[in-house]
């Protein structure tokens, strides 16, 4: 079964054709990232305009590289939540139009479920597993009981891990996105140079909180500026990255022990982080747990992951009609649309 996936929740306009949820026939991504760098973050209005300009060409290219036409497609899967509303609407409306014109089923896909599905691509991974989903907008620990059955175990109370890395990177005057820059520069830094205490969430053992850590790093920079002291950015970046990764791994480890997880999966943009990957490997080895990451090219936003999840949603009978809307926020365990 061939699924055409469409993704436009942030600044990537993407389309892909994936066979049976695991075999990628094409994966096209156009991004407006370079334009946003100027402003140190994604400007929603610019992102929406670029989606509207690119979507038609991106979808045509995805079909052509997969050597097919829309007639060969079994269903059209589209990200409908969560994300920037103006951006999401471009993808949803395009997918609705295409589904209606070609008489194909329309499958709504939750963006974070798509990130989880990036781990099914080119491999045999099957639920059940414990998953850490870490992106620019979300940080969750979830139990994936089945492809479409997800239970939230913990989530961030404030900033997402990627958001904290991006804001810290900005305060360190590193290029956007800060997460990518921090990962790179940390390789030359001493991760023990600065100590950051781990935030506690008093009423939950699995929930995260990153806004305090973000403020702490900004304070270090301001204090040094006021005293005209020089800080080695690589040391500060490495120490901050270590604090974020330690927090992520600590609660993931606790959740895996308490739930008796045999498999752990990491997904979302931050899953590309080299420190997170190596610490997760150590932790899983210690407990004899199997670990999966997406291939680096599927960590960030892409449509192959949406087509993959779309396949499993479609098998479960998830199909929308032309009244489908886009939503800026939506819980990952929501099953209605």
Residue 114 lies near ligand KG4 (rule: CB under 6 A): no
Candidate list 5, 189, 269, 294; residue touching ligand KG4; CB under 6 A:
269
Q: Name the 3-class secondary structure at 175.
A: coil
The count of other CB atoms within 10 Å of the CB of residue 299 is 22
User: Interacting stretch for ligand KG4, rule CB under 6 A, among 27-35, 176-184, 209-217, 314-322?
Assistant: 176-184
What minimum distance in Å lies between the beta carbon of 268 and ligand KG4? Answer: 5
Residue 165 lies near ligand KG4 (rule: CB under 6 A): yes
Task: List the beta strands (DSSP E) in the chain.
Answer: 2-7, 12-19, 23-31, 75-81, 106-110, 129-134, 139-146, 149-155, 263-267, 290-292
Longest CA span, the chain: 66
Residue with Cβ nearer ligand KG4 (27 or 98): 27
d(CA 118, CA 82): 17
Residue 16, CB-side half-sphere exposure with 13 Å CA sphere: 33
**Total length of the chain:** 337
Residue 279 lies near ligand KG4 (rule: CB under 6 A): no
d(CA 215, CA 152): 27
Residue with Cβ nearer ligand KG4 (135 or 256): 135
Residue 183 lies near ligand KG4 (rule: CB under 6 A): yes
Candidate list 5, 21, 300, 310; residue touching ligand KG4; CB under 6 A:
300
Residue with Cβ nearer ligand KG4 (82 or 105): 82
What minimum distance in Å lies between the beta carbon of 63 and Zn ion? Answer: 23
Residue with Cβ nearer Zn ion (80 or 194): 80
Q: Which residue is nearest to ligand KG4 (CB)?
A: 269
Residue with Cβ nearer ligand KG4 (99 or 116): 116
The side-by-side arrangement of strands in the sheet containing 149-155 is 149-155, 139-146, 129-134, 263-267, 290-292
Binding residues (CB under 6 A) for ligand KG4: these are 10, 115, 135-137, 162, 165-166, 177-180, 183, 268-270, 272-273, 300-301
């Amino acid at each position: 079964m061939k699924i055409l996936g469409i993704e436009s929740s942030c600044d990537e306009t993407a389309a892909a054709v994936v066979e049976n949820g695991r075999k990628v026939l094409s994966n096209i991504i156009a991004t407006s990232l370079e334009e946003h760098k100027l402003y140190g973050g994604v400007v929603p209005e610019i992102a929406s305009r670029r989606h509207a300009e690119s979507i038609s060409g991106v979808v045509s290219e995805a079909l052509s590289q997969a050597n097919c036409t829309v007639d060969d497609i079994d269903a059209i899967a589209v990200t409908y939540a969560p994300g920037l509303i103006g951006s999401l609407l471009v993808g949803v409306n395009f997918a609705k139009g295409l589904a209606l014109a070609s008489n194909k089923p329309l499958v709504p896909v939750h963006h974070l479920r798509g990130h989880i599905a990036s781990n099914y691509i080119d491999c045999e991974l099957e639920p059940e597993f414990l998953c850490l989903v870490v992106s620019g907008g979300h940080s969750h620990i979830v139990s994936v009981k089945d492809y479409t059955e997800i239970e939230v175990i913990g989530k961030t109370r404030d900033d997402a891990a990627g958001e904290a890395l991006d804001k810290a990177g900005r305060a360190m005057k590193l290029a956007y996105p800060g997460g990518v820059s921090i990962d790179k520069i940390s390789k030359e830094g001493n991760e023990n140079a600065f100590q950051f205490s781990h935030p506690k969430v008093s009423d939950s053992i699995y929930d995260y909180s990153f806004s305090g850590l973000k403020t702490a790093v900004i304070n270090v920079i301001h204090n040094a500026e006021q005293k005209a002291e020089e800080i080695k950015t690589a040391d500060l970046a490495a120490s901050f990255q270590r604090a974020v990764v330690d927090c992520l791994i600590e609660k993931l480890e606790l959740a895996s022990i308490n739930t008796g997880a045999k498999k752990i999966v990491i997904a979302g943009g931050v899953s590309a982080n080299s420190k997170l990957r190596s610490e997760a490997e150590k932790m899983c080895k210690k407990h004899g747990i199997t670990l999966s990451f997406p291939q680096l090219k599927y960590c960030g936003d892409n449509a192959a992951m949406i087509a993959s999840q779309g396949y499993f949603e479609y098998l479960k009978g998830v199909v929308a009609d032309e009244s489908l809307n886009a939503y800026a926020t939506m819980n990952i365990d929501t099953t209605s649309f």
